[in-house]
A and B are shown apart, each in its own frame.
Chain A
Amino acid sequence: MSTEQVIQVLQERFPGIDFAPRPLVATRKVTTDQICVRIPPERLVEVMTFLRDDERTRFEQLCDLTCVDYLQFPGATDRYGVTYSLLSLTHNHRLWAKCFVNDPDPEVPTVTGVWPGANWMEREVYDMYGVRFTGHPDLRRILTWDGFKSYPLRKDYPRTGLGEREDYPTLTRESS
């Protein structure tokens, strides 16, 4: 079953959602077989559970979970695109899904209940972009250090930081 047929199955099962297939790489003039669909955040877990469990789709594996900040991106309407890369080992097909959320309170339901491996990847997205995953069992920062307040992969974050590296305390014999 090809990815187009997967999208057809999705459209039949969820007629209320628009699963218009888009190429994953849109700005370059290259042909790609990587196809992306949009899923609204309020029905994300429902759709993902269906994609994993249905006989025809069987996406057992969540290859990657990441995020894109579309701030000042030409033609973009929403800011954060949480991106899911799915792979079916049974049928050998792939699907990309994006879930768009916005400031000031970007929130996406967690998919740790569908794929437990999403745990750390969602923590990384939370750490780098500040997208909160509702229902996540352990939503802490994963890469940056204790006391770090910013979200460094947001496009409006300066590369050299907001003074965090200068304010970091020196460890002494007394303080350690």
Chain B
Amino acid sequence: MVKQAEKYVTAPHLASREDFLTTRLDSLVNYFQNWSRKNSLWPLPFATACCGIELMATAASRYDLARFGAEVMRFSPRQADLLICAGRVGIKMMPVLQRIYMQMCEPKWVISMGACACTGGVFDVYATVQGIDQFMPVDVYVPGCPPRPETLIQGVMAIQRIVEREGIRSSQERGKGYQLAIQETYGLNVSQTEKTGGQVH
């Protein structure tokens, strides 16, 4: 009994209701392709302000973005598939960012990191772009001023889920991007840590 596999939301072997694996070979191959693709995102850090510092902290040893396979920062758009726009972007900088985005090869995704890249933040002035999504597709918004590294990791994980579910869809197909917003995460509650005798839950 062979069931036609639907569009997989989870792994193909879980989609089967029976005890044994029933799937099509191309779906299985597709699944492993997406699995390997989501675990080897190569980000392009477009860091223009203080969010860039948090981005560096995320990639460094304490938060260790390498756990998610996204530690290979590529400074050439040709080699990257995830654009992390961290920091405010001026009107004069916008053509540069747009050109970098267009130079990236498909498939490509965009994280808009921090309040300034998402909305302009406190810089409600004549020279600052009020959200890069006015000019280019954005898949995940990461809030915060600047976001904590945990929040950025949440954003990278959201991109991973998109890759797992969608696989390769060209950016033109996706239009303005997925525009997902990440819940802001906060640091450890110190007082609670003290209460539990230093054990962190």
Write out the residue numbers on chain B whose beta carbons fall within 8 Å of the beta carbon of A176.
Answer: 98-99, 102
Task: Check: A106 CB closer than 8 A to any chain B CB.
Answer: no
CA distance A162 to B117 in the complex (A): 21
Closest A residue, CB atoms, query B134: A170
With A143-B92, A152-B126, A159-B124 known, 6 other A-B pairs at CB within 8 A are A145-B91, A160-B126, A161-B126, A165-B128, A170-B134, A171-B94
Write out the residue numbers on chain A whose beta carbons fall within 8 Å of the beta carbon of B94.
Answer: 168, 171
Closest A residue, CB atoms, query B120: A165
Closest A-B pairs by Cβ, 7 of them: A161-B126, A171-B98, A145-B92, A170-B135, A168-B91, A171-B95, A145-B91
B191 to A: closest C-beta gap in Å = 41
CA distance A117 to B99 in the complex (A): 33
CA distance A162 to B91 in the complex (A): 14
Q: What are 5 A-B residue pairs whose CB atoms fall within 8 Å in the complex?
A: A159-B124, A161-B127, A165-B128, A176-B98, A176-B99
Q: How many residues of A contact B (CB 8 A)?
A: 18
In contact, B92 and A160 (Cβ under 8 angstroms) = no
Q: How does the 8 Å CB contact mask read for A146-176 relative to B, with 1 for contact and 0 for none?
A: 0000101000011111101100101101001
Task: Check: A144 CB closer than 8 A to any chain B CB.
Answer: yes
CA distance A133 to B15 in the complex (A): 74
Closest B residue, CB atoms, query A146: B92
Residue among B98, B99, B102, B127 making CB contact with A165, cutoff 8 Å: B127
CA distance A152 to B90 in the complex (A): 14
- The verdict on A159 contacting B98 (CB below 8 Å), with A145-B91, A168-B91, A171-B135 known, is no
CA distance A165 to B91 in the complex (A): 7
| Interface size, B (range) | 10 to 19
A129 to B: closest C-beta gap in Å = 15
- The verdict on A160 contacting B135 (CB below 8 Å), with A165-B91, A170-B98, A171-B98 known, is no
Residue among B99, B102, B125, B135 making CB contact with A161, cutoff 8 Å: B125
A153 to B: closest C-beta gap in Å = 10
Closest B residue, CB atoms, query A143: B92
CA distance A143 to B92 in the complex (A): 9
Task: Check: B130 CB closer than 8 A to any chain A CB.
Answer: yes
- The verdict on A152 contacting B127 (CB below 8 Å), with A145-B91, A165-B91 known, is yes
Task: Check: B159 CB closer than 8 A to any chain A CB.
Answer: no
B108 to A: closest C-beta gap in Å = 14
In A93-137, which residues have CB < 8 Å from any B CB? none
CA distance A168 to B66 in the complex (A): 38
In contact, A171 and B99 (Cβ under 8 angstroms) = yes
B73 to A: closest C-beta gap in Å = 24
CA distance A173 to B101 in the complex (A): 11
CA distance A160 to B129 in the complex (A): 11
Q: How does the 8 Å CB contact mask read for B81-99 relative to A, with 1 for contact and 0 for none?
A: 0000000000110110011
CA distance A158 to B124 in the complex (A): 11
Write out the residue numbers on chain B whose beta carbons fall within 8 Å of the beta carbon of A152.
Answer: 126-127
In contact, B124 and A160 (Cβ under 8 angstroms) = yes
Write out the residue numbers on chain B whose beta carbons fall within 8 Å of the beta carbon of A171.
Answer: 94-95, 98-99, 102, 135
In contact, A164 and B126 (Cβ under 8 angstroms) = yes
CA distance A152 to B94 in the complex (A): 19
A148 to B: closest C-beta gap in Å = 8
- The verdict on A165 contacting B92 (CB below 8 Å), with A159-B125, A170-B98, A171-B102 known, is no
